[in-house]
Homo-oligomer: A and B are copies of this chain.
Amino acid sequence: MKSHPLFWKSFSDFIDELDGIKEIIQGSDFLALDLEFTGLRKSMSGGLKNNLFDSISDRLKKMQENMMEFLVLQVGLCAFHWVPEARKWKYYAYNFNVFPSAEHGDLTFPCQVETMKFLLEHGFDFNRVILEGIPFLRPDREEKAKRSFFLKQKAILGQGPSPQRVSVPEKLKPLIVAISERVKNFLDDPDAGQELNLGDFTAYHRKLIYEEIHERFQGQMWVESVPGKAGETEILLHRGKEGLENWGKEPWKKLQNAFEFRKLIDFISSSEKLLIGHNMLLDLLHLEEKFHQDIPQEYGEMKHLLHTRYPKILDMKLVAEWGELADLFMDSSLKCMAIRLSKEPFQCAAVAPGNEVSARYEKKEAFHEAGYDAFLTGQNFLSVLQYLNHMDSMVLEVSFKSCLFPLALDFTPKSSLTILLTVLLLTFVSLAILLMDRMGLSWIFPFIALIVAGVLAEHGLPLPGFLLTLPVALNLLRTLYTVTLWMFRALAISVGVFPALNIAIPDVPYINLAGPDMSPDRSHVFHLKMPSSWKNQDIEELFSAVGPVQIAWIDDTSAYIALKRREMAAEALTAKIPHNDSLYQVTTYADFCAESLFDCKRRGEKRQKLEEINS
């Protein structure tokens, strides 16, 4: 087992560095994020398995049911800064090891054996995160914790309502009397010092003792529980009211500490930086659920919430899974994507470490450490961007940030002709972008440029200085093209034109936070209800008249059946398959969904009937 004590971020480290971390975030061009959990899937044998033909809200329900009870153990953050002088991206990686604050009360959380073994084998220290993790508390718990702190304070100050006393059992009476006597002697003897340690007691005994001496000696002393040497709890008694006003400072500070990490998450959210993740839907849901509030049950509300919280996001898994670049990636896992991006036609983006943790990542891979995975996600993003723009040394001088503003190149028109030419040039560049981008005609750009230059020269027109030499012109055109394309892409990617989250349903690959989701054509999909004895072969036989099928089992007695020859759907519906039989029942996907909706309503009515029986 590996151990990285140096790069452990415990609570005191965290507080010491918090301002610095915020500055780094504020100054960054974009952020990358990764989380580690105590588990990913509650039960392999449970009924809520993912299905190829889930709807998005089916899938989200399953995620909530199977995944959201696990704890977040590590939040990895990596901030990327463009350093123009060094012409490099500098990155600052952080591992925040977090654990619910004691104010959460007596919490029980699930652990998935596979996940825990996996994390431990990759150097994670579960012992330390439990004992020393940065404490956190959700706002709703925060209010509760504050209330109970004030109640406790009032009780210690003797201002609270006297609670009903627990009656002292017969066999403990001698103990309570003896302690009461000891306290009396101490208070009567002015030379006995300011404090009296009554020793170590169980919680029950402490309660009895507190109630007794509170009743007998109120106003003359105050008591508090202090930790003993061996982890036990001792009662410390203070004479008079001196120091009482100081009581609460320490516990209040401790309580405040539990809010600091959530405030950092809030800071990230309000910075409105582009946030990059790899398969980040689960990460965002956990951030919301652990540090803010429960995830809304209603899908539209959930989408709105995530979009408001993180307006600019990019899910790198989608880049490898879907869209124009997907064919270049065989495997969309973070590691495989990074390996792919280090080979032709890609090139690994050049980055330089900005802090201690990052320096370690430069020397050695640390897969599944949240900070490293966040860093790698960010680097993958840069490599992809670089590929998209055939980035060269000249373009690299333009920082990512400046791309989001009007071009700042030295290009001032000198005469009316140059203005015309500039307009023509920009139109030509835009057209070239369209042609090259949409139709893959990359040869057309230098070709047309040559023709235009040739035609202009033949007609003896007064060409502006910078167009006289063809190489200079070509280079400028190329730069303009590249920068404009980059700007176009960067805007599309980062300003939230398309904030999509991978959901891994084959025909609905993503959630679109900013607009309506895809509505896939499932006219070739059927729902089959059948006896539990049926196997794949039985289903294949039933559908043999309409060609091969894809079977997506829901449970032992039902499955979705997709025709591989989509065009056979109409035939399947009419004659080829007997729809109802004593043994089985075939329904179209659309009808099945409508029926489920109807069933939901019926279940509502049934519930009402049941309530009538109950009452």
Residues of A bordering B, CB below 8 Å: 1, 38-39, 41-45, 99-100, 104-114, 116-118, 120-122, 125-128, 130-131, 164, 171-172, 175, 202, 205, 230-231, 326-327, 330-331, 333, 336, 365, 367, 536, 606, 609-610, 613-614
Contact = CB atoms under 8 A, between A and B. Distances in A.
Given A1-B131, A610-B610, A111 B112 contact: no
Contacts of A110: 108-111
20 contacts: A1-B128, A38-B111, A41-B108, A45-B105, A100-B113, A106-B114, A107-B112, A108-B110, A108-B111, A108-B113, A110-B110, A118-B231, A120-B131, A121-B131, A121-B231, A172-B330, A205-B331, A230-B365, A606-B610, A606-B614
A336 B200 CA distance: 10
A25 B402 CA distance: 76
Contacts of A614: 606
Contacts of A120: 127, 130-131
Given A44-B105, A99-B113, 18 more contacts: A39-B108, A41-B106, A107-B112, A108-B110, A108-B111, A109-B110, A109-B111, A117-B131, A120-B127, A120-B131, A126-B126, A126-B130, A171-B330, A172-B330, A205-B331, A606-B614, A609-B613, A610-B610
B108 A333 contact: no
Contacts of A365: 230
Q: Which 3 A-B pairs have the closest CB atoms?
A: A44-B106, A107-B113, A108-B112
Nearest to A116: B130
A131 B42 CA distance: 20
Contacts of A610: 606, 610, 613
A331 B125 CA distance: 37
Q: Which of A1, A39, A108, A164 has the most CB of B within 10 A?
A: A108
A333 B201 CA distance: 11
Nearest to A204: B331
A419 to B, nearest CB: 48
Contacts of A202: 331, 333, 336
Contacts of A164: 536
Interface centre among A330, A333, A606 (most CB of B within 10 A): A330
A120 B130 CA distance: 8
A171 B120 CA distance: 34
Contacts of A1: 127-128, 131
Contacts of A230: 365, 367
B106 A130 contact: no
Contacts of A536: 164
A533 to B, nearest CB: 17
Contacts of A205: 331
A171 B327 contact: yes
Nearest to A163: B536
A333 B202 CA distance: 9
Given A113-B104, A130-B113, A231 B122 contact: yes
Contacts of A45: 105
Contacts of A613: 606, 609-610
Nearest to A610: B610
A233 to B, nearest CB: 12
A553 B45 CA distance: 38
A229 to B, nearest CB: 11
A106 B117 contact: no
A610 B175 CA distance: 58
A605 to B, nearest CB: 9
Contacts of A330: 171-172, 175
A164 B551 CA distance: 12
